[in-house]
Structure 1
Amino acid sequence: MNTGLRIQLSLMMFLQYFIWGSWYVTLGTYLLQTLKFTGEQNGLAYGAFAIAAIVAPFFVGMIADRFFATQKVLGILHIIGAGFMFLLTLINDFPTFYICLFVYTLCYTPTMALTNSICFRQLEKPGEQMPGIRVLGTVGWIAAGLFIDFLGVGTQATPMLIASVASLVLGFYCFSLPHTPPVKKEGPVTIREVLGLDALALMKNPSFAILVIASVLVCIPLSFYYSSANVFLVEAGVENVTSKMALGQASELIFMLLMPLFFVRLGVKKMMLLGMAAWIARYLLFAYGNNETAVWMFYGGILLHGICYDFFFLMGQIYVDNKAPVHLKSAAQGMITLATYGIGMLIGTWLSGKVVDAYSVTTNEVVSHQWQQIWMVPAFLSVGVLILFALFFREKEEKKKVSVQA
């Protein structure tokens, strides 16, 4: 791969995740502490991202696969998204905020699949080269957190303004990316293509189906972390929370580079199970940590993000690209986005909002939360998911042994 292409794709990934990291981490704190929204409203706001992940990626993936160059679709979505993200900085009532946020997420969620699609189409050896490109996305997320903490605006609307500007920059930059034309296919457009239903044929592959189901289930408890970790650490008295949470992305960066080594030694199934176990450990560390005598538990929970994310989500993206036929690659990336940030996160954000409200206490108009009880909920859910899939994988191994002996 030539240096110019690497730089172009790396910068794309940096800006893609700089945008997301700018507003997503601090949104809960802004909504709960600054705008005084309820825990349920906070959950619904994060759920807008999940609903958009269900609605948008298949349709946009089909457009990029068949009708328009992927980099152009990507650029237009980011430019439109920049406008709606700017509007969010001016709104302080929940119904209007939610509608505007939902429209923004309709623009943003497909871009995660499209950036992956561009990389996989342009790289000669995606399995080997993709981690080195995707790692710049992690650097972008870290940079966003450090920048926001440097400005000291984590509880304000400024992070959304930063995301708006970055989205506009990336939108125009996308038109300079390598041309990624649609994969032409003979015959008329069908309803199945428009709805992205052709990609569902991949579910006939048992391993692919397992990945999708696991992605849905593991993202239910995962949503507790995304919607509540920032405000939890703020209430616990941790300073410069956004930059400290960026340590999780630093861990992600390290494990991303080590992934090929782990893959050779462990394989897909064991890496998935290890990633699930890491989520359980994270929730327990948050539940029993404190800022006086056990602050190390907070840092431990944050640093586990590398195993949690890389061993499950990035591995899934690479696996999907390997399994999907050429004309369905964008739609297939959209499917895994739907499973992870769509269905699972939608259920999880609703549940997390309910749980946060159930364990909230208001004293003199100041809202606090019983975080130990809150974090035990996703911990128990994750244990259930881990046991379910450990038993499933064991059953498949036993069937293989019986087949070999026969």
Structure 2
Amino acid sequence: MSLKLRLTIMNFLQFFIWGAWLITIGGYWFKTMEWSGTEFGAIFSTMGIASIFMPAISGIIADRLIGAEKLLGIFHIIGAVILCLLPEVASPSMFFVVMLINMIFYMPTISLSITVAYSALTKNNMDIVKVYPPIRVWGTVGFIVAMWTVSLAKIETSAAQFYVAAAASALLGIYSFFLPKCDTNKGGSEKSFVEALGLDAFQLFKQKKMALFFIFSMLLGAALQLTNAYGDIFLHEFDSNPLFADSIAVKYPAIIMSISQVSETLFILAIPFFLKRFGIKNVMLMSMFAWVLRFGLFGIGDPGSGLVWIIISCIVYGMAFDFFNISGSLYVESQTDEKIRASAQGLFMMMTNGFGAVLGSSVSGVVIDKFFTITENGNSVRDWPNIWFAFAAYSLVVAILFAVTFKHKHDPKEVESFSH
């Protein structure tokens, strides 16, 4: 089996696991368990809480103690067991605890899978910029296949979605032990205590450029959390309107939202061209302005005549997500020493899916409840157009600040260096 195919299978399963429940868990929560919306928001924060510390810690372990591919396998096997426990939980508070434990083991596997891929491609003298995006795109395909599997099997509101994710997690856990070996850097006695633990990766914050990069990673991570948390709910709440109750978007919101992941596959393949033509900073800046469009188009969309705007928004999502996340990981790869790259990728994950996710879920929840929710006939009604416009304004401010403060001159040789 070729190296590309082995890494392709890894990426497919990595994101199939997540796609099997991330978008559809709301249906299980509200329809089957009939739990409250306030507690539901806490479930999405588990990804952020886990990402604050686990990717960095796992990166340190992978750099110093255990090969990234073995750690990837161990975490996925544990995750499979935990996913099987979720359907047995009967209270929202305990569900939060079990989901948090699941996320503690799942979130670091995202950066670990990147480390495994980059390490294997580098050892085989392959051009990462050219070779990795077509491999990573299969992760997005896996996410889409999982969403469609759950939707078409009519288990969007069923606990069966967790068993589907668990089966994929167990399979990837076993498969990971047969992936290319990643080297560890077990330091000698001449290294300091900080270096021996791999904590020297945190010293990247002392560099102004890297500190700014990680701060903006957090702010963009918040934007991603907004679309994850509210996109599906946004479409579901149109079911109370007789004009839209029977529309395709309301009946199959997961399938409509999956257009975003389809778009990802196209934009991932475009990354090599954009990186070499415009440079890493401009590509990341394009991502930020794409978030402005993503939210703004949702603001003017609806499941009826406005469905076209929702679909275009989902298409724009591909650029918004890929151009920062993939380019950002490549930026980290180019700016850090090979001895701390797994730790640095963990830091990147910590800022985007950790602090960024917590920031996005906590602040947005307060803002929506205080400024964009009214009570009609005893029911809470959210002002979705203005919610999305507020998110768009936030993204615009972030984009402008990034353009002004982040200094990085495009050097084609830097991009070419990924092949060495």
Q: TM-score, normalised by structure 1?
A: 0.90
Match status 1:324 vs 2:336: yes
Rounded to whole Å, the distance in 2 between the matches of 1:42 and 1:191 is 41
Q: How does 1:47-196 map to 2 (within 5 A)?
A: 47-123=45-121, 124=125, 125-187=127-189, 192=194, 196=198
Structure 1 pair 227–56 and aligned structure 2 pair: CA distance change class (3 A)? same
Structure 1 pair 61–189 and aligned structure 2 pair: CA distance change class (3 A)? farther
Tell whether the 8 Å contact from 1:275 to 1:309 is kept in structure 2 after alignment: yes
Rounded to whole Å, the distance in 1 between the matches of 2:195 and 2:365 is 35
Q: Which amino acid is 2:361 matched to?
A: T
Shift of 1:362: 7.0
Shift of 1:103: 0.6
Tell whether the 8 Å contact from 1:279 to 1:308 is kept in structure 2 after alignment: yes
Rounded to whole Å, the distance in 2 between the matches of 1:14 and 1:342 is 23
Shift of 1:157: 2.3
Q: Which moved more, 1:370-379 or 1:321-330?
A: 370-379
Which residue of the partner structure matches residue 233 of structure 1?
Answer: 235
Which residue of the partner structure matches residue 382 of structure 1?
Answer: 395
Match status 1:289 vs 2:312: no
Rounded to whole Å, the distance in 2 between the matches of 1:361 and 1:157 is 32
Which residue of the partner structure matches residue 402 of structure 1?
Answer: none
Shift of 1:155: 2.4
What's the RMSD between the two structures over aligned residues? 2.2
User: Identity of aligned pairs, percent?
Assistant: 34
Rounded to whole Å, the distance in 2 between the matches of 1:348 and 1:148 is 27
Q: Which amino acid is 2:131 matched to?
A: Q
Q: Which amino acid is 1:130 matched to?
A: Y
Shift of 1:169: 1.0
Shift of 1:195: 6.6
Structure 1 pair 362–173 and aligned structure 2 pair: CA distance change class (3 A)? farther
Structure 1, residues 145-187: CA drift from partner, whole Å, max 9, x if none?
Answer: 1111111222222222211111111111111112223233222
Structure 1, residues 261-298: CA drift from partner, whole Å, max 9, x if none?
Answer: 11222212221121111111111111111122211011
Rounded to whole Å, the distance in 2 between the matches of 1:209 and 1:305 is 26
Q: Which moved more, 1:226-235 or 1:101-110?
A: 226-235
Structure 1, residues 318-371: CA drift from partner, whole Å, max 9, x if none?
Answer: 111122212111111100000100111111111233344444567788765332
Rounded to whole Å, the distance in 1 between the matches of 2:208 and 2:132 is 25
Tell whether the 8 Å contact from 1:57 to 1:109 is kept in structure 2 after alignment: yes
Match status 1:224 vs 2:240: no
Structure 1 pair 109–149 and aligned structure 2 pair: CA distance change class (3 A)? same
Structure 1 pair 196–366 and aligned structure 2 pair: CA distance change class (3 A)? farther
Tell whether the 8 Å contact from 1:59 to 1:195 is kept in structure 2 after alignment: no
Tell whether the 8 Å contact from 1:39 to 1:357 is kept in structure 2 after alignment: no
Rounded to whole Å, the distance in 1 between the matches of 2:71 and 2:395 is 37
Rounded to whole Å, the distance in 2 between the matches of 1:283 and 1:144 is 25
Tell whether the 8 Å contact from 1:58 to 1:195 is kept in structure 2 after alignment: no
Which residue of the partner structure matches residue 251 of structure 1?
Answer: 263
SS at match of 2:181: coil
Q: Which amino acid is 1:151 matched to?
A: A
SS at match of 1:89: helix
Q: Structure 2 regions of 5+ residues with no counterpart? A: 239-244, 410-420
Rounded to whole Å, the distance in 1 between the matches of 2:136 and 2:392 is 29
Which residue of the partner structure matches residue 400 of structure 1?
Answer: none
Which residue of the partner structure matches residue 414 of structure 2?
Answer: none
SS at match of 2:50: helix
Which residue of the partner structure matches residue 28 of structure 1?
Answer: 26
Shift of 1:242: 1.4
- Of residues 365, 368, 374 in structure 2, which corresponds to 1:353? 365
SS at match of 2:156: coil
Tell whether the 8 Å contact from 1:119 to 1:126 is kept in structure 2 after alignment: no
Structure 1, residues 48-80: CA drift from partner, whole Å, max 9, x if none?
Answer: 110100121121111111111221111110111
Structure 1 pair 186–48 and aligned structure 2 pair: CA distance change class (3 A)? same
Number of matched pairs:
394
SS at match of 1:98: helix
Shift of 1:396: 8.0
Q: Which moved more, 1:102-111 or 1:120-129?
A: 120-129
SS at match of 2:89: coil
Which residue of the partner structure matches residue 12 of structure 1?
Answer: 10
